[in-house]
Chain A
Amino acid sequence: MKNYLKPVILVILVFGLLAGGASAEEKLIKMSTTTSTQASGLLDILLPELEKDTGIQVKVLAKGTGAAIRDGVDGNVDVIFVHAKAREEQFVADGYGTKRYAVMHNDFIIIGPKDDPAGIKGMTNAAAALKKIAESGSMFVSRGDDSGTHTKEQALWKESGLELASKTTTIIKTGTEAEITFISPEKMGGKYLSIGQGMGKVMIFADEKQIYTLADRGTYIKYKFGNETPVDLEIMCEGDPRLSNPYGVIPINPEKHPHVNIKLADQFAQWLVSERGQKVIGDYKLLGKQLFYPDAVK
């Protein structure tokens, strides 16, 4: 009997300890964010500081902005941290989020191979640069994943004045027909590659094929200067105000999803826009280059 009981007691003890350990870590929230905040290395600096100050631990799910917003709509996470301002405002207006906090910004850049076959190096008009890429018959690789970067790219193509091919797919959503629209420059045909992957993958794709793409500066710096094998791509076009890339954080509305941890999500958002959080963001440098500019505190 004794021999039989010993292991049972041991197992119960171990489980008890594990359970106790888990309940001690209750300050845990889930956050869906874009691949760029993670790939740029910002979160690796930001989240430990957050934990030091507030004790909050964040479980990060990095995906495209479209998918991150979807996670918010479905109530899979407590907070989202994304970069597609118009869509974020829509998200709050639809009642899925409580409030959008402007956290920081950086900018998008058009990058391409050193030999610059389209001759766009030094241009400051992003839409004109894209037009030139298309007209010179150069290749362009697109995120094509409904992310913040992809949203920006589609907006720029619209402004380029090029003939656009619009592709609409009809699907059924909650019983009614819904449409998904995708645009791409008509003229480019097979020279426009839409690969539907994260920023890092797209950058590697552009590097492998030596073609142009639109990227956020943070991820570019990381892949250019922070990688063992730096990507062989140069900045071609920057400085267009339309290339601005603002990031916002939105706690999920507990009225839609009562199970979300609004208290911690709010505390997290407040910390991000506090002087302390903003300083961490502003101070984050990769090889001497500032990646993100705080928006809440000047």
Chain B
Amino acid sequence: MDYLLDSLYSAILLAVSIDAELLTVVSVSLKVSSSSTILASVIGVPLGVFIAFKTFRGKRLVITVLNTLLALPTVVIGLLVYSFISRRGLLGAFDLLYTQKAIIIGQTILIVPVVATFTIAAISRIDIRYRKTALTLGASWFQAACVVIREARFGIFAAIIAAFGRVISEVGISMMLGGNAKGFTRTITTAMALEYDKGEFTLAIALGIILLSLSFGINLLFHFFQGRTEA
């Protein structure tokens, strides 16, 4: 149990010493996770809006499939993407494996379902009359969508925050597709896994504490942002 106290001190020590290696690890994590979150939002939000608005045959099935994909294991995504981008794979020529791009691809696949299902839920809760009123007032389909998205923004924000939380804490994809190369694809979580493998538990937990503090900071930012748009 002394680990925890030791780790807390080590985390503070690491954070205040502005260790160059730690900064790289943190910046790789942030860069990769925010890229995949942005990408997944660009794909997932419109997808969610589209599914929520449209009535079509098999809509419930599509939603069920998306919900199932929420449980997609990172290892499965890792293997799938790996088989495509490996040197012997279909996209081998692009030399993507063990790069940050590879991690971003995998993480995006991981969280598109998260963003899409939460968006569907958020939009579905908005009274349908908003859209109908907008349409009768002469709004185009796109404008009507914007009105509803505006109303559902809290839910959609929650979707994006959840998605970000999923990828910044994820380790399977980063390890399999990024390869944990120091200075290139080593993220906070793969660094933690490595310190655990080395038997340096203190450092592993210290990194975990730093990851949580970072997440807290980012969520504060989001909160501030949401608060401002409330008016």
When distances are taken between beta carbons in the complex, the residues of chain B under 8 Å from A196 are 180, 182, 186, 190-191, 194, 197-198
- In-complex Cβ contact of B180 among A66, A173, A197 (8 A): A197
Shortest A284–chain B CB gap in Å is 26
Would A172 and B198 be within 8 Å (CB), given that A193-B182, A205-B179 are in contact? Answer: no
Kindly specify which of B6-14, B39-47, B51-59, B119-127 makes contact with the partner chain. B6-14
B:1-39 near A, CB below 8 Å:
2, 5-7, 9-10, 13-14, 17, 19, 21
B:165-212 near A, CB below 8 Å:
175, 179-184, 186, 190-191, 194, 196-200, 202-203, 206
A148 to B107, CA, bound (A): 33
When distances are taken between beta carbons in the complex, the residues of chain B under 8 Å from A167 are 21
Nearest A residue to B185 via CB reads: A195
Contact of A229 with B180 in the complex, beta carbons under 8 Å: no
When distances are taken between beta carbons in the complex, the residues of chain A under 8 Å from B198 are 64, 66-67, 70, 145-146, 196
Flag A69-106 by CB within 8 Å of B: 1 or 0 each.
11101000000000000000000000000000000000
Contact of B181 with A193 in the complex, beta carbons under 8 Å: yes
A175 to B2, CA, bound (A): 8
What 6 pairs between A and B have smallest CB-CB spacing? A70-B199, A196-B194, A194-B182, A172-B9, A171-B10, A146-B198
When distances are taken between beta carbons in the complex, the residues of chain A under 8 Å from B13 are 170-172
Asked whether B98 is an interface residue with its Cβ less than 8 Å from the other chain, the reply is yes
Flag B83-104 by CB within 8 Å of A: 1 or 0 each.
0001110000000011000000
Could you list 8 A-B pairs, sorted by A, with CB under 8 Å? A169-B19, A171-B6, A173-B202, A175-B6, A180-B200, A193-B182, A194-B183, A205-B179
Asked whether A174 is an interface residue with its Cβ less than 8 Å from the other chain, the reply is yes
Shortest B95–chain A CB gap in Å is 8
When distances are taken between beta carbons in the complex, the residues of chain B under 8 Å from A170 are 13, 17
A159 to B34, CA, bound (A): 43
Summed over the interface, the residue pairs from A and B with CB atoms below 8 Å come to a total of 90
Q: How many residues of A contact B (CB 8 A)?
A: 34
Shortest B60–chain A CB gap in Å is 38
A208 to B6, CA, bound (A): 39
Would A172 and B202 be within 8 Å (CB), given that A145-B194, A208-B86 are in contact? Answer: yes
Would A172 and B10 be within 8 Å (CB), given that A195-B180, A196-B180 are in contact? Answer: yes
Question: A67, A195, A205: which has the most chain B beta carbons within 10 Å?
Answer: A195
Would A171 and B202 be within 8 Å (CB), given that A195-B181, A208-B87 are in contact? Answer: yes
Nearest A residue to B97 via CB reads: A208
A253 to B194, CA, bound (A): 27
Asked whether A207 is an interface residue with its Cβ less than 8 Å from the other chain, the reply is yes
A196 to B194, CA, bound (A): 6
Nearest A residue to B21 via CB reads: A167
- In-complex Cβ contact of A71 among B2, B190, B199, B206 (8 A): B199
When distances are taken between beta carbons in the complex, the residues of chain A under 8 Å from B87 are 207-208, 210
When distances are taken between beta carbons in the complex, the residues of chain A under 8 Å from B17 are 170
Asked whether A294 is an interface residue with its Cβ less than 8 Å from the other chain, the reply is no
Asked whether A190 is an interface residue with its Cβ less than 8 Å from the other chain, the reply is yes
Contact of B203 with A208 in the complex, beta carbons under 8 Å: no
A171 to B21, CA, bound (A): 14
Contact of B98 with A205 in the complex, beta carbons under 8 Å: yes
Flag A178-209 by CB within 8 Å of B: 1 or 0 each.
00100000000010011111000100010111
A66 to B88, CA, bound (A): 33
When distances are taken between beta carbons in the complex, the residues of chain B under 8 Å from A208 are 86-87, 97-98
- In-complex Cβ contact of A66 among B14, B19, B199, B206 (8 A): B199
Question: A66, A172, A174: which has the most chain B beta carbons within 10 Å?
Answer: A172
When distances are taken between beta carbons in the complex, the residues of chain A under 8 Å from B184 are 190, 193
When distances are taken between beta carbons in the complex, the residues of chain B under 8 Å from A207 are 87
A172 to B12, CA, bound (A): 10
Shortest A205–chain B CB gap in Å is 6
A96 to B17, CA, bound (A): 34
A:194-249 near B, CB below 8 Å:
194-197, 201, 205, 207-210, 229
